Amino acid sequence: MTTSWVGGRQRHLLYCSNEPPLDLEIPSLRLLEHDLNEDLALLTEQISAAETRLEQLREQKKVVDSRKSALCGSLSPMRRLPAELLSEIFLWLQPHRSRMRPVFAPLNITTEPWPLMHVCRRWRSTASSTSALWSHLSIDMENYRYPVRFLEAHLERARELAIDFVGSSSAPMDQQQAVFDTLAQHSEKWVNISICLERSLFEQFNNLRGRLNAARRVWIWWENNNAVPPDISPMTCLDGAASLRDVGMTRWAESPTDVLVPNILLPVAQLTRYDFMLPWKMHLEMLTHTPNLIQARLLVPMNEQWGGGDRAVGRELRLETLQRLYVSHAGILDRIDTPDLVELAIEHYIPEDDEIPASAAALIKHCRCPPLKTVSICGEPTFHGIRTTLEKLPSIEELRIVWDDEIDDPFGHRSHIQNLLGYLHEFPLRAPALRGLSLAWETEVLADYEQLSQSLLSRRALAGNKLQVLEILEGKPPDVEFSLEGHPAKMRCSLRAAGFIVTTIEGPLALEILDGYKLA
């Protein structure tokens, strides 16, 4: 390295200023420039050599890291796990399956459980032999891309099958029928069936009579208003299904002449759960002999013509063992007798059926159990409907309010909630038996958390108050840090400090709890 850079004070001043050098200084400066260029060339050469060596060392490190990873993998406890434990781990890796809200993710070899088959021979063997990994299939024919050979392999590996199948009028009929025929070849394994029937698939499904003996739960629905032709033959495939305990079928009708569902033959004597939207006469025919029924959702079309005054007809249906009931119309409550009823879910839509609370109160008088303590109000509850229910059913200890649709009028919705919160801390005490309150939204919470907190704290100060449990369910929370009004964490802290038990749940788990409140 050159040392000629170092100079006296005069040279230093020259370097640090913008003054031109003297003519006598220029030759020595040119010589210095030449020396510095040689130094730079040498340093560049040394750096290049060092970079080459560094790259070689990095490549060597990658090789050693790879060898170490391979060695650690060979020594990993995962390699020595018993097949039974490995199988259990695989099962815990599976996504949660909602009973009422299946996720129709595209089926392919990159979705569970196929990736487990790609790791090693031992994993492939364990995954193949773990039948529970292959026990669920969700198929939406509108987006179906699963090769037939993979579908057949999937079905072969399962010992029992939960099938979620959605037919589509926009998908090729020959493809739908081929896929359904492949599924039907394993119908003896079907234990849980949720199927949206497109018209062209009805006969294929109906031909499974005598082959669904393992089916414990069946839910059938219809793709569109034209899916049920008026001349459709009776559904007989479930008749004689020895294991069937839970059955439901629905389709919304737009006019009184619409065919809701076909006539259906069921082993009703063995059913423990029933969920149908039918004209009342069809409900009556099907439920006359149900000695084991524990839970029922009884829905009738909005245009149902009762006639003659509901209470004048009398209680024409006695459900001796029924404990949990969901109804969509007051006329149903006026015509049934449920001596063992312990839980009631009421459907409220606008315009509301104002007679439901009074009809429920009349029904409960016939119960031999203690007064009804658990009530859910579902649909589009209003303050008027909630207040009427609490006044007509003063024994309510647990009230669940479920808004299960998109809120078309957020301002009006909030006013209903504000009125309810004001009502709850009025003096004298309203709904004195109330111990637990659940507020559930299918979408996002539309409540003022601060007002909710203040209302419950004010009620707690009233003599005779028993309310100490609050639950808030939010099915589809907004993509923000907190909801529209106030902060839930602040509400939880203030209420818990006062002795309340507060739970806030959002997402799929909230939807599952919400569905349970609707007895769905």
Q: How many CA atoms are closer than 13 Å to the CA of 164, on its beta-carbon side? A: 17
pLDDT, position 9: 66
C-alpha 272: how far from chain center = 24
Amino acid residing at 469: V
pLDDT, position 340: 92
pLDDT, position 292: 95
**Boundaries of every domain in the chain:** 75-266
pLDDT, position 225: 54
pLDDT, position 520: 87
- Assign residue 307 a region (left: φ > 0; alpha: ψ between -120 and 50; beta: otherwise): left
By CB neighbour count within 10 A (0-12 exposed, 13-18 middle, 19+ buried), where does 3 fall?
A: exposed
Are the CB atoms for 440 and 402 separated by under 8 Å? yes
pLDDT, position 444: 83
pLDDT, position 256: 45
What is the C-alpha separation between 435 and 62, in angstroms, rounded? 64
pLDDT, position 481: 47
Q: Break the chain down into helix, strand, coil percent, rounded to 5.
A: 40, 15, 40
Q: For the segment 112-166, what is each residue's pLDDT rounded down to a tens digit?
A: 788 888 888 999 999 999 999 999 998 888 888 888 888 999 999 999 999 999 8
The list of the chain residues with pLDDT below 50 reads 256-257, 259, 308-309, 480-485
The single-letter DSSP state of residue 96 is: P
Closest CA to 163 of 123, 118, 184, 193: 193
Peptide bond into 77 cis (omega under 30): no
Q: Which residues, in sequence order, are CB contacts of 150 under 8 Å at separation 6+?
A: 107, 108, 109, 114
What is the C-alpha separation between 427 and 111, in angstroms, rounded? 58
pLDDT, position 25: 79
What is the C-alpha separation between 218 and 162, in angstroms, rounded? 10
Q: Where are the beta strands (DSSP E) in 50-153?
A: 136-140
pLDDT, position 400: 97
Rg of the chain over Cα atoms, rounded to whole angstroms, equals 36
Closest CA to 223 of 172, 261, 272, 168: 168
